[in-house]
Amino acid sequence: MLPVVDLSRRGARYADAFAADACRIATSGQFLLGPELDALERELATYVGARFAVGVASGAGALQLALESAGIGRGDDVLIPGFTAVPTASAVLAAGARPVLVDVDADTACVTPAAIAAARTPATRAAIVVHLYGYIADLPTRLSEGPDDLIVIEDVAQATGAHRGPLTSTAAAYSFYPTKNLGGIGDGGAVLTDDETIAAAVRRRRVHGMTELYRHEDVSQNFRMSELESAWLRLALPGLDDDVRARRRIAATYRSAAPHLRWQQSQEEHGYHLCVFRSREREADRGRLADAGVGTAIHYPAALTQQPAYRAMFAGSHCPESEAWARECVSVPCFPEMTDDEIALVADALASLPGDEPA
């Protein structure tokens, strides 16, 4: 069965070069916060087109530290999409703030500036906009520079390689979880920002809030990224543009083979971390694809209103589109190492699906 993503092929691309890097790091004695991370941060900032990149331990950590470093905490409401990976919500809670749900758009699976504007209250201090599946969502305009300004954090976990500066958000949180467009050999993440104060705060907060050895200016914990992870990401970064081009080509092939399916809305800059269509007969379609040798996955089977740990917290939220996406979404194989034969196999299988009746 062709999987939705095959990380062993990704690993094989960098294995030899990484073996040499791993030996060098092992004998250097510098395992954390060393030259590999410094170089990765410079290369990432240049690649994205942001002034600062600060490497951290995960995408969830990047979101939490971006929020905290922008001054978000207890008593603040943070708007987030009703349909996203759960870490978008847990990061807000970890920062001590309150996540408030905004329903997503039926076509893009992302929040819109209009929905964010409608959800704002005097307690709203920030909004996290998630570029879900790699779709680059429009950001709300920040109304003014001042205390009433909305802090906008981008969750770029699924849009690496498609998200480029100049940044109009306060900060952008990246994930290097292995399946991501820029995937690590373990966990990793980064905060990208043009704001020097925020970058400095993330740097402190990733090491227990220390400004110098054993002097702690902020209450924080350990969010360090290892030198091994940094070295791996440096090997992968130069190929990221080609990888995203390959993802776009795969998605375009599927869409033209199966225009009758209800695909997430397309756009030129889409990063296609995931290639997703909606089906009212999801399990039947997944069965048909499996019969053709095509694996599928569900990202995600529940909206935040439906997750056991969050249901009670979001009991008052009204998110029908988020719940519809959770009910109908299907992810199909989309990774840059796919062969032309594999792409054709998936395209043919998609073309043969019946498609939904008009609603």
Ligand X SMILES: Cc1ncc(COP(=O)(O)O)c(C=O)c1O
Q: Which residues bind ligand X (CB under 6 A)?
A: 58-60, 84-85, 87-88, 130, 155, 157-158, 175, 177, 187, 189
| DSSP-assigned letter for residue 137 | P
Which CB, 189 or 336, lies closer to ligand X? 189
Name the minimum Å distance from CB 26 to ligand X.
Answer: 25
Are 72 and 125 in contact, with CB atoms under 8 Å apart? yes
The residue nearest ligand X at its CB is: 59
Name the minimum Å distance from CB 288 to ligand X.
Answer: 27
Structure tokens at 128: 């996290």
Name the minimum Å distance from CB 94 to ligand X.
Answer: 11
H-run or E-run covering 10: helix 7-28
Name the minimum Å distance from CB 285 to ligand X.
Answer: 23
How far apart are the C-alpha atoms of 112 and 79, rounded to whole Å? 12
Which CB, 59 or 161, lies closer to ligand X? 59
Name the minimum Å distance from CB 196 to ligand X.
Answer: 25
Name the minimum Å distance from CB 131 to ligand X.
Answer: 8
Q: Which amino acid is at 225?
A: M
H-run or E-run covering 192: strand 189-193
Q: Would you state the torsion angle of the CA atoms of residues 305, 286, 87, 250, taken in this order, to the nearest 10 degrees? A: -130
Q: Is 116 helix (H, G, I), strand (E, B) or coil?
A: helix
Name the minimum Å distance from CB 11 to ligand X.
Answer: 18
User: Would the CA dihedral through 335, 338, 342, 347 be positive or negative?
Assistant: positive
Name the minimum Å distance from CB 207 to ligand X.
Answer: 18
User: Would the CA dihedral through 106, 108, 111, 117 be positive or negative?
Assistant: negative
Structure tokens at 95: 């920062």
Which CB, 157 or 192, lies closer to ligand X? 157
Which CB, 285 or 321, lies closer to ligand X? 321
Which CB, 88 or 112, lies closer to ligand X? 88
Which CB, 88 or 279, lies closer to ligand X? 88
Which CB, 133 or 277, lies closer to ligand X? 133
Which CB, 91 or 246, lies closer to ligand X? 91
Name the minimum Å distance from CB 61 to ligand X.
Answer: 7
Q: Is 358 exposed, middle or buried (0-12, 13-18, 19+ CB in 10 A)?
A: exposed
Which CB, 55 or 140, lies closer to ligand X? 55
Structure tokens at 184: 């690590």
Structure tokens at 301: 């089977």
Residue found under tokens 């708007």: 79
Crossing angle of the two packed helices 87-94 and 59-69, in degrees rounded to 10: 40
Are 133 and 264 in contact, with CB atoms under 8 Å apart? yes
Q: Is 284 helix (H, G, I), strand (E, B) or coil?
A: helix
